[in-house]
Amino acid sequence: MSIFEKIGGEAAVNAAVDVFYRNVLMDERISHFFDSIDMASQHQKQKAFMTMAFGGPNHYTGADMRKAHAHMKLTEEHFTAVAENLIAALKELNVAQEHIDEIIAVCLSVKDDVLNVPPAA
């Protein structure tokens, strides 16, 4: 069974993204990255991405992680802030810790792309 199914499918992902962005927009470490972003569109992209990344239906049409974040000059601190806000959202929605751990493993799998770390030679 996929993480998507374990946490409750589309409704759970939608709720998680909504709570996540509420948290992110209040976090001064990272909120400025969203100052000029159409948040309705961002929510839709994130919901589609998380659904696909967690093993649900793939309706994601956005850029890959490296391209989507290349212009942002993100640091380890930014990545940590995003992860902390995601964990807080999942806990608020009473997602089991074992599923949170699986979700964070998915996030960590794209960390180098998000931070634009050059691929190993």
Question: Can you say which residues are annotated as belonging to the binding site for heme?
Answer: 69
110 is written with which tokens?
Answer: 């794209």
Q: Binding site: what residues are annotated?
A: 69
- Measure the CA dihedral 55/58/59/65, to 10°: 80
* Cα 58 to Cα 53: distance, rounded to the nearest angstrom: 8
* Cα 18 to Cα 16: distance, rounded to the nearest angstrom: 5
